[in-house]
Amino acid sequence: MDDKEIIDRLIARSESAITALGDKYSKYCRVIAINILGDAEDTEEVLNDTYYRVWNSIPPEQPNNLRAYIGRITRNLSLDRLDKIRAEKRGGGQIDVILSELEECIVDNKNTPEKLAESEEISAALNEFLIGQSIENRCVFVRRYWRAASIEEIATNFDMSVGKVKTILFRMRKKLRKHLEKEGIHI
């Protein structure tokens, strides 16, 4: 079933849309959630919450790219769940490492309307930056910073050494910082 048909079924409030959504995107969403959470039980809860959130948001939303839409929901729910787990356990993990890698490039943009506008500028600049990269570099960057994949996992998936992945990510973070500064986004 294609995305348009799934969205049409969601708008029509047909429960078969959730089944179709799960059939088509459960593996994709599971990878995102497990890479962030590292726990199968928490991942399953996030997947259920993702489908519930999609059910409640379409309509009124009608995303142009259902895969990106459901991926973003899964990622955000996973990060929220991770915050909750950390508040309970006060443990560290993969996300801490990823965020520390990116903290020199991107600032925290929460709460104020000014910061929201700035976050939209950062998003547009980031998209522009990624379009200008090679497919390999773009895929490595997205796997690391969107899907929260480990460096070892990326190396295995792309048949690279761990050192090469680290070098690609290091160079891309430097380029990203320069690109953001060129766009007038000051860190």
List the structure tokens of 14: 């047909």
- Same domain for 83 and 142? no
- Same domain for 81 and 159? no
pLDDT bin (cut points 50, 70, 90) of residue 117 is low
Say which residue, 129 or 102, is predicted with more confidence.
Answer: 129
Q: Is residue 121 part of a domain?
A: yes
pLDDT at residue 174 greater than cutoff 70: yes
State the burial class of residue 45 (Cβ atoms within 10 Å of its Cβ: 0-12, 13-18, 19+): middle
Residue type, 178: K
Mean pLDDT score of the chain, rounded to an integer? Answer: 83
- Cβ(115)–Cβ(72) below 8 Å: no
pTM for this structure?
Answer: 0.58
Mean pLDDT of the 21-37 span: 93
Specify the CATH number for the domain of residue 15: 1.10.1740.10
pLDDT at residue 114 greater than cutoff 50: yes
> Helical H runs in 90-134?
94-102, 113-131
pLDDT at residue 100 greater than cutoff 60: yes
> Helical H runs in 38-110?
40-57, 66-89, 94-102
pLDDT at residue 92 greater than cutoff 50: no
Q: Which of 8-12, 93-97, 118-122, 134-138 has the lowest mean pLDDT?
A: 93-97
- Same domain for 81 and 107? no
Q: Is residue 187 part of a domain?
A: no
List the structure tokens of 171: 């160079």
List the structure tokens of 88: 């309970």
- Cβ(165)–Cβ(154) below 8 Å: yes
Q: Is residue 78 part of a domain?
A: yes
Q: Give percent above pLDDT 90 in the chain.
A: 48
- Same domain for 108 and 85? no
Please give the backbone phi and psi of residue 61, each rounded to the nearest 5 degrees, phi first. -65, 145
Print the domain residue range for 129. Answer: 97-182
Residue 120 sits at the vertex; the CA angle it makes with 118 and 122, to the nearest 5 degrees, is 70
pLDDT bin (cut points 50, 70, 90) of residue 19 is very high
Closest CA to 77 of 20, 32, 116: 32
Specify the CATH number for the domain of residue 125: 1.10.10.10
- Same domain for 70 and 147? no
List the structure tokens of 160: 């690279």
Dihedral angle over CA of 20, 47, 152, 124, nearest 10: 80
pLDDT at residue 175 greater than cutoff 70: yes
Structural domain count, the chain = 2
pLDDT at residue 110 greater than cutoff 70: no
